[in-house]
Amino acid sequence: MSFEQARMLMEAANNLDKHRLGAYVALCVQVGIRTEEARALTWDHVDLDGKPDADPPVPPSIAVWRSVREHGDTKTLLSRRTLSLPQQTVEVLRRHRERQDQEHAKAGEAWQENDLVFCTRLGTKLDAGNVRRQFRVVTKAAGLGEGWTPQELRHTFVSLLSAAGTPVEEIARLAGHSSTRTTEVIYRKELRPVLTRGAETMDVILG
């Protein structure tokens, strides 16, 4: 997606009362995790407070250590990474958790506790079809049509960082690519060398 399309998407996704997948969209666009990593993300791997008094300070972050792949492994060893969260993403995830707590209370004994960040109204896992259908609702509401796939959120993350001047080596680390060649082959038409970083850059361009 272009910068303007990403802004339109984020505006629509921010309406969490209307879009249950809003926080999912925000996380994937602003942090660049794979859709299978987002579906497996648990709250015990999410730190929305960080440790500002530590030396050095620890920012809010997510630990991307699992996916919905067989045996729960990430795509590669380098895909295991801990990523700082942009402030906008922190705020969206806080609101998302509040709504999830309300759904938990409403479901009562029918709730199945899996500690998943993104789940159904009963706490169960989202499958790929769930995500695709809900994602199309968000893109349609954003005025972008329904021809997009959740995988393109990750492509958008890379494209936005590249356009903002982030070096390909840094993008590859953030995306969990096994080499910069993977990043360059897929995004080489848009990549150009620059000098900033993931979460800080996202706060500037989408915050």
List residues with catalytic annotation: 34, 75, 154, 177, 187
Residue listed under structure tokens 């859709």: 35
CA distance 121 to 103: 6
Spatial strand order of the sheet with 81-84 comes to: 46-47, 61-64, 81-84
CA distance 48 to 60: 5
Q: Mark residue 176 as left, alpha or beta (left: phi above 0; alpha: psi -120 to 50; beta: remaining).
A: left
Peptide linkage before 56 cis (omega within 30 of 0)? yes
